[in-house]
Structure 1
Amino acid sequence: MDPMDAGMRYTPKSSDRDWDQAVTFLPATDSTKLEKKKGPGKIAAIIGVVVFACVVALMTGLLVWHFHYRKDEKIMKMYSGSMRITNQPFLDTYEDSNSTEFKALAKQVAAQLRDIYTKTPALAKFYVDSTVQAFSQGSVVAYYLSEFHVPKSQEAAVDNAMSSMNDPINKAQRSFSDPTGSLFYDSVVASAVDSRMLMKRTIQRVSERIRPGHPITVKSPGFPDYPYPSNSLVQWQFRADPNSVIQLDFETFNLEGECKNDFVKVYDSLAAIESRVMAEKCGYYSPNNPLGFISSGNVLLVTLVTNEEGNYPGFRASVAQVVKGSRGTSCGGTLTGNSGTFTSPNYPKYYPPLTTCEWTIEVPSNMNVKLIFTKFMMSVGQPNLCLMDYVEVNGEKFCGNFSSNKVVTSNTNRMTVVFYSDASRVDRGFNATFSAFEPSNPCPDKFLCNNKRCISTSLQCDGWNDCGDSSDEKNCKCSSSMISCRNGLCKPMFWKCDGVDDCGDRTDEMNCAACKPGEFVCGDGKCISEKQKCDGRNDCSDNSDETDCGKAAPCPQSNYVCKNGQCISKQNPECDGENDCKDGSDEDCGDCGKQPYKTSRIVGGQDATEGEWPWQVSLHIKNSIHVCGASIISDRWLVTAAHCVQDEGATRLSQPGSWDVYLGLHTQKMLEKAEKRSLKKVVAHPNYNAYTYDNDIALMELDQPVTFRDSIRPICLPSAAYDFPVGKTVWITGWGATREGGSGATVLQKAQVRIINSTVCNSLMNGQITSRMTCAGVLSGGVDACQGDSGGPLSSSSGTRMFLAGVVSWGDGCARRNKPGIYSTIPKFRAWIKEVTGV
């Protein structure tokens, strides 16, 4: 019987019985012989001392047992492993666990394991039993499960002994003899079973043989009609022909977001051997973020583990047999010419384990080689130590993840690139380009960064880290129009006193309080009269003049108000996972602001992942093209910009019948995949100013409620007191123009920007910023919203949720340097939104 099938049935027996047998009581004594006519005699005294000593010894023993032995109770430990039997031919019947041949060889392997364990001092006294789970080819690989009952104090020692089982076998092959013959074996691997797999009430195992040219489809139980079952362990064992590997591609993957609850593990093995785990995955992956694996050999194990609650749809995957050496499984070779591109095997999906590739790059003899890794994701063990997977370029190893392009150059016309992956924990790998350059002039008419990147000379000493290693900002002489940081950097003057440490040593944030005597400094740097402090009116835009006034007052606007009227001074308490309100209203958030799909680390430009921004809406003029964006805030209401719904000649954009609304859309050329809706009502803010774009916000009511799903979901609305601090990273999304004056994007775009100080922004935008506007962007230029993005969301993350920080409103061109994007500030309109929509 497979011990994993029994769950916790193998709880160690208590050792109480052994201790009970060790307690010995003295026999009863004839009381008449102990009587004294005149008083106690010597015999009685001796007996009394003996009895007392026995009682003391008994109590001492019980105390020792209670505090030492009972404390060191035994626990069940399960170890999964494999061994390669070198002197046995593989029989097809070994794939059938009910066959006579399987049972006979399994009995030999179990006996052999017992012999190994009993000869290992650290394991002998704790070993219980072993069960063979499967066999595979090569010559014959046996996969087994071994059970031990281990005192807690010895758990680490047993783990170490099991993990080092293969060490002596690497030095000399071992053999084992029993009445049925001798087995020769090597390559013994063992590791502790994931404890989450031992606690499941329902266990299901499936074995599949993959045939050439006949891929199969595998689904989690119930998919797609029902969510996967709770408290379950489901395992799929896949076998392929010799000299083949198995390709696993998830077409749909939708599990709970916390891997500690529900997860899928993929093993380069037929048993759940942790030292052979390729990846552990949970959450959501869309087809645009491919999740796929390739085994190193002809076996693969997929394990689904679920807990007791929060079950999700599950997954569907395709499993196919691929010949070793075919496209996707092979790599390396010689690369010649002036430029080229190459990738790790199976990129952008996950590379296989136990793989080594070598490329030789050769460019013309008078040139050198420049190699740029545009994407780089390699599994890493200890930080800064490339002990697991790595890429080695001319003897230098690289591993982990690079957030920006990694550049490596050679001193000759040749370069050697080696890719290596060990037996476990794979990743997506790399995408690389190489080019030839002239050694004497590596960056013609450009600035050469220390990391070998080439940038325009106009970007040198402009206050921006354009190289990525700041080498373009070193050894600079700051002009009078720039901040001279104490650390030697130069920064634009408009960054001074903006609340963000741009210098890195806070030089730009020093001596910022320039108010006159008798004036109060607001939190945003504004100066007001001291007489205005604590006068009951909010004269500072951040209400800092009405805080700490030492008197009971109504809940300040800067505080959060619970539904029961309780005033919470904690900043941004809503939907943060903690009940700050006594009535719990701060956590009454529903399902808003949750991104159903994981954000891929392979952005691929600025294309969003399908379903990544489920509150994003595309607004089309009736039977025409996309013109604006919007955000879902409830099952009936949308938020957009007021300037999107202003009448233009004969086009009555203020009327609901003029619009087609597309929900759950990703690609504009695939409108049929979205949910098309009509509008019942359009409500522009009554104080919208078409000249200044002040109060640039509008609401739209759908003609009927929408049913939420992964690709259609509302974003969370912040309270009136919610604060989006200066410097915070936020997201802009939309189908607008990808460059100023250009055409709209086909695929939904995304970009990260940061919130900019309103005083700085007002100076950059020539005094056009009001208190109802938020500035956000990248002041170095290149990232911004543009025409067609209007009305769309400015999304800000808080924990596991996204909040609507603003609505795309206006800007001076698109993505210009020192010209941020301007957004309508949602907290300023929270009361109006509530009044109109009830949301």
Structure 2
Amino acid sequence: FVYSPLLTDKDWDTAVTFLPASDNKKLEKKRGPGKVGIIVGLVILAAVLALIIGLLAWHFHFRKDLKLQKIYTGSLRITNQVFVDAYENSDSAEFKSLANQVMDQLKSMYSESPELSKYYIGSRVQAFSEGSVIAYYESEFAVPVVQEAAVDRAVSSLSETYSTKVRRAQQGPLVFDHVVSSALDTRLFSKARTSTRFAQHARSSAEETIKSPGFPDQPYTPNSFVQWQLRADPGHVLKLSFDTFNLEKNCSNDFVRVYDSLVAMDKHLMAEKCGFYSPSNPLTFISSRNVMLVTFVTNEEENFPGFRARVTQFKLACGGKLSGSSGSFKSPNFPSYYPPSTTCQWDIEVPNGKFIKLKFPKFMVSTGSPNCPGDNVQIVGKSTLCGQQPANTMVTVNSNQVSVVFKSDSSQVDRGFSATYEVFEPSDPCPDQFQCNNKRCIDPSLRCDGWNDCGDGTEEKNCKCDASMIQCRNEVCKPMFWRCDGINDCGDDTDELNCGCKIGEFKCKNDQCVSEKLKCDGNPDCKDGSDEDGCTRDICKVSTFACNNGKCITKQNPMCDGQDDCGDNSDESSCDCGKKAYTKSRIVGGQEADMGEFPWQVSLHIKNSAHVCGASIISDRWLVTAAHCVQDDVKIKYAQAGTWEAYLGLHRQTEKQKATKKFLKQIIPHKNYNVYTYDNDIALMELDSPVTFSATIRPICLPTATDFFPTGETVTISGWGATREGGAGAPVLQKANVRIINSTVCDELMNGQITSRMTCAGVLSGGVDACQGDSGGPMSFLTNDRMFLAGVVSWGDGCARRNKPGIYTNVPKFRAWIKEKTGV
């Protein structure tokens, strides 16, 4: 038919013209295929059957001839040669001459093995190093698929043969031993990647630098394979320190491998790393000899800033003799990675008549299994430790002498350990103190106080409690304020028996008491949710999230959990928040945060002055802080935006030039803030211009108005405040984990000062807390792999005191107010 697009729809019928057939019989339906059709069909069928039979024959018979490229890397020691400087240069005549001899004798060595000689293609010498002369090589084989395992075994047997005795090859002048060989990781010889090789020698007078291609001006290049052969002078070892390390998080895509060798052998692989490592806790490795290989592999996607590392040489020394009544020692390079193939021995001797107590505050020695093969620490005659041990692991030695031996094997290193030793009297291991079963000594006043000060609970057993304590049936004492709080603190429910509620309180089914005002308010204030049982109301009054399509969700924390609960994805929108940049008042009892670990953390300064308060980024224009931080006093107008400057992306207070400085447009403290009780202690700050988000500057997620944080849940606090009560602020951002404290218990501890707009968190045994200078900073809660702003640092009774938790503004209670003022 013919269709003219110029015609209207009404003209469509008249625009269709059927063309006449030249032979009307050709338009009639045929009754069958005919003889020719049958013959053609049989031929096609026969061809298909032949093809199937051929494929099956290939699969079961000829597939054994399919060959794989296998590359084995290795090293061997040439015992009748002396190393000369020219061997460092692969273009020198000396290098080429010796390399040719090595390749000839490798061929001869492989010819002795029937499994290897048939498939051998060739070898290439990569480098030489001292000792007498160590040759590093690659050997290529074309191996049938069905013979791959046999060839692997044959290569492994060479290592056994040439490492147990010195052998002269059948042909050639070289005598060699200590053959080590293993299959090369297939990711390291992809033909699709651009390959680059560098050779550098560290000298004592200066440090060398290596960096990823393009660093720091641009992200590293895709589909790359880069190697750095690093050397030091004889008798020295190499130290590789990454001052910047920012790669893709998935090590299957982009990664750095560090070898204790000059060729990529898994038997000498120290570590494979990817992701981010903070400059405040740099990634550092030490070789066991004067050589090291660094390899860098990238795929075609997601290229990151990359890395830069410093290379230095030094003489490694560890172990020795220790004496006196106390002292300390540690693994080489602690707290960074110790070298492989290393043995250190410390011989400790204390005065006669005394015994020795060893303590390991930190212990991370390879992975290890119960019998500790590979890397380990042996207390000679006593025990062997490996793996990751609990903090302050203790070992006592009933002698005034002991040897401690640290050994690492040829691959996979770890952070190592720190250790201390001190004496004790054989007859009185804990003078004037209580001795725990784990040999720890504690103050006698800590016995039977309800806290596990020993670490093994020894001091809390078989207790007779005074009138101020709960006498549990299992002979454990617990503080009286824990009685009837809905939590089984005793472990046998003694503290939750016979609990009645005060006037104006509702008794939950689990005997917990909550205010009558909280019944049927849509929030499960009882731990078992019984205060919401039997309540008749519209589901949207108790929803945890109101969707854009009008649907109401009652699922806890539905936002940004990766599931479209609403059906219109509105619960998963606005989720570019709460993600840490990478992938470790100052916080009392905390530790230094990693660079970019809390990218929403803000440092608030009085203009041209020091840090005063903290704050949190919630959007590109708005910050959340504490209202008490922005109250005027006689000297300073804290309530005026022009008084402040905000530092975003700051890590170290002395490096403000590296952060983004912003000024404020306005400050909005909550209108109901009570300067005496700290109730409604929250304020908003608007920046004078939007900030650009980056790896170290991004917002924290805001909770919904109905989010709640259960008692006992872990939350994280961060800031630059004082490290101890009355102390100075911290130069580096600190972090600490604390737990949500039951509000009833907290109100009793804080003499009735807790309101529903406050959240209590801390460690009731003391030692961990926010302090002066942390005010306004975040208390963050991890859920669905994102950090949410659970609270704002508000007030406390001192810092890190026992039974005195920190008090935080309860952010969910102010969610509507934040939305009203900021639109966030």
| Matching of residues 457-536 of structure 1 within 5 Å | 457-477=444-464, 482=469, 489-495=476-482, 502=489, 521=508, 525-526=512-513
8 Å Cα contact 1:193-1:274 kept in structure 2 = yes
CA distance in 1, matches of 2:308, 2:518: 68
8 Å Cα contact 2:322-2:348 kept in structure 1 = yes
Q: Does 1:89 align with 2:62?
A: no
Partner of 1:352: 339
8 Å Cα contact 1:557-1:720 kept in structure 2 = no
2:200 pairs, out of 188, 201, 208, with 208
1:371 pairs, out of 349, 352, 358, with 358
Check 1:735–1:211 CA distance in 2 against 1; reply closer, same or farther (3 A cut).
Answer: closer
| Matching of residues 682-831 of structure 1 within 5 Å | 682-798=667-783, 800-831=785-816
CA distance in 2, matches of 1:498, 1:272: 60
CA distance in 2, matches of 1:693, 1:565: 36
| Matching of residues 601-680 of structure 1 within 5 Å | 606-649=591-634, 651-680=636-665
CA distance in 2, matches of 1:527, 1:604: 32
Amino acid at match of 1:217: T
Once the two structures are TM-superposed, the CA of residue 224 in structure 1 deviates from its matched residue by: 0.8
CA distance in 1, matches of 2:116, 2:494: 62
Amino acid at match of 2:227: Q
Which deviates the most, 779-788 or 611-620? 611-620
8 Å Cα contact 2:500-2:507 kept in structure 1 = no
Partner of 1:393: 379
Partner of 1:225: 217
8 Å Cα contact 2:560-2:571 kept in structure 1 = yes
Partner of 1:310: 302
State the identity as a percent.
Answer: 62
Check 1:557–1:210 CA distance in 2 against 1; reply closer, same or farther (3 A cut).
Answer: same
8 Å Cα contact 1:541-1:771 kept in structure 2 = no
CA distance in 2, matches of 1:467, 1:576: 40
RMSD of aligned alpha carbons = 3.7
Give the total of aligned pairs: 770
Q: What whole-Å deviation, never above 9, does each CA across 1:779-826 have from its counterpart, x for those lacking one?
A: 111211122221111122336532211101122332222221111122
Which deviates the most, 609-618 or 675-684? 609-618
Check 1:59–1:735 CA distance in 2 against 1; reply closer, same or farther (3 A cut).
Answer: closer
Partner of 1:410: 397
1:247 pairs, out of 239, 244, 251, with 239
Q: What whole-Å deviation, never above 9, does each CA across 1:606-637 have from its counterpart, x for those lacking one?
A: 33344433322222334444332211222221
Q: Does 1:165 align with 2:155?
A: no
Partner of 2:522: 538
Q: What whole-Å deviation, never above 9, does each CA across 1:248-286 have from its counterpart, x for those lacking one?
A: 122222222333332211110111111111122222223
CA distance in 2, matches of 1:814, 1:722: 28
Once the two structures are TM-superposed, the CA of residue 558 in structure 1 deviates from its matched residue by: 4.4
Partner of 1:182: 173
Partner of 2:28: none
8 Å Cα contact 2:64-2:146 kept in structure 1 = no
Once the two structures are TM-superposed, the CA of residue 526 in structure 1 deviates from its matched residue by: 4.8
Amino acid at match of 1:689: N
With normalisation by structure 2, the TM-score equals 0.84
1:424 pairs, out of 394, 405, 411, with 411
Check 1:125–1:773 CA distance in 2 against 1; reply closer, same or farther (3 A cut).
Answer: farther
CA distance in 2, matches of 1:152, 1:111: 27
Once the two structures are TM-superposed, the CA of residue 70 in structure 1 deviates from its matched residue by: 5.2
Q: Does 1:291 align with 2:286?
A: no
Partner of 1:446: 433
Which deviates the most, 713-722 or 486-495? 486-495
Amino acid at match of 1:392: Q
Which deviates the most, 649-658 or 309-318? 649-658
8 Å Cα contact 1:806-1:823 kept in structure 2 = yes
CA distance in 2, matches of 1:461, 1:380: 37
3-state DSSP of counterpart to 1:766: coil
3-state DSSP of counterpart to 1:177: coil
CA distance in 1, matches of 2:500, 2:155: 65
Could you tell me which runs of 5 or more consecutive residues in structure 1 were left unpaired when the two chains were aligned.
1-54
3-state DSSP of counterpart to 1:238: strand
Q: Does 1:192 align with 2:176?
A: no
Check 1:566–1:113 CA distance in 2 against 1; reply closer, same or farther (3 A cut).
Answer: farther
Once the two structures are TM-superposed, the CA of residue 222 in structure 1 deviates from its matched residue by: 0.8
Partner of 1:47: none
CA distance in 2, matches of 1:96, 1:319: 19
Check 1:213–1:747 CA distance in 2 against 1; reply closer, same or farther (3 A cut).
Answer: same
Partner of 1:259: 251
CA distance in 1, matches of 2:763, 2:222: 46
3-state DSSP of counterpart to 1:430: strand
CA distance in 1, matches of 2:407, 2:650: 40
Once the two structures are TM-superposed, the CA of residue 836 in structure 1 deviates from its matched residue by: 1.5
Once the two structures are TM-superposed, the CA of residue 334 in structure 1 deviates from its matched residue by: 1.1
8 Å Cα contact 2:523-2:542 kept in structure 1 = no
Q: What whole-Å deviation, never above 9, does each CA across 1:708-758 have from its counterpart, x for those lacking one?
A: 334433222223343433222222122333333444344433222111222
Once the two structures are TM-superposed, the CA of residue 683 in structure 1 deviates from its matched residue by: 0.6
Check 1:831–1:546 CA distance in 2 against 1; reply closer, same or farther (3 A cut).
Answer: farther
Amino acid at match of 1:316: R
With normalisation by structure 1, the TM-score equals 0.83
Check 1:604–1:336 CA distance in 2 against 1; reply closer, same or farther (3 A cut).
Answer: farther
2:124 pairs, out of 127, 131, 155, with 131
Amino acid at match of 2:379: V
8 Å Cα contact 2:331-2:338 kept in structure 1 = yes
Amino acid at match of 2:435: L
Amino acid at match of 2:644: W
8 Å Cα contact 1:528-1:539 kept in structure 2 = no
8 Å Cα contact 2:159-2:180 kept in structure 1 = yes
Once the two structures are TM-superposed, the CA of residue 490 in structure 1 deviates from its matched residue by: 4.0
Once the two structures are TM-superposed, the CA of residue 119 in structure 1 deviates from its matched residue by: 4.1
Check 1:164–1:634 CA distance in 2 against 1; reply closer, same or farther (3 A cut).
Answer: farther
Once the two structures are TM-superposed, the CA of residue 145 in structure 1 deviates from its matched residue by: 2.3
CA distance in 2, matches of 1:165, 1:604: 55
3-state DSSP of counterpart to 2:756: coil
Once the two structures are TM-superposed, the CA of residue 776 in structure 1 deviates from its matched residue by: 0.6
Check 1:615–1:521 CA distance in 2 against 1; reply closer, same or farther (3 A cut).
Answer: same
3-state DSSP of counterpart to 1:218: strand
Q: What whole-Å deviation, never above 9, does each CA across 1:627-672 have from its counterpart, x for those lacking one?
A: 3221122222111111222233453322212223233334445545
Partner of 1:836: 821
CA distance in 1, matches of 2:728, 2:361: 26
Check 1:313–1:481 CA distance in 2 against 1; reply closer, same or farther (3 A cut).
Answer: same
Check 1:359–1:838 CA distance in 2 against 1; reply closer, same or farther (3 A cut).
Answer: same
Check 1:261–1:805 CA distance in 2 against 1; reply closer, same or farther (3 A cut).
Answer: farther
8 Å Cα contact 2:543-2:552 kept in structure 1 = no
Once the two structures are TM-superposed, the CA of residue 89 in structure 1 deviates from its matched residue by: 3.2
Once the two structures are TM-superposed, the CA of residue 129 in structure 1 deviates from its matched residue by: 4.0
CA distance in 1, matches of 2:763, 2:693: 33
Check 1:471–1:101 CA distance in 2 against 1; reply closer, same or farther (3 A cut).
Answer: same
Check 1:783–1:713 CA distance in 2 against 1; reply closer, same or farther (3 A cut).
Answer: same
8 Å Cα contact 1:523-1:544 kept in structure 2 = no
8 Å Cα contact 1:208-1:238 kept in structure 2 = yes
Amino acid at match of 1:694: D
Which deviates the most, 240-249 or 113-122? 113-122
CA distance in 2, matches of 1:133, 1:662: 50
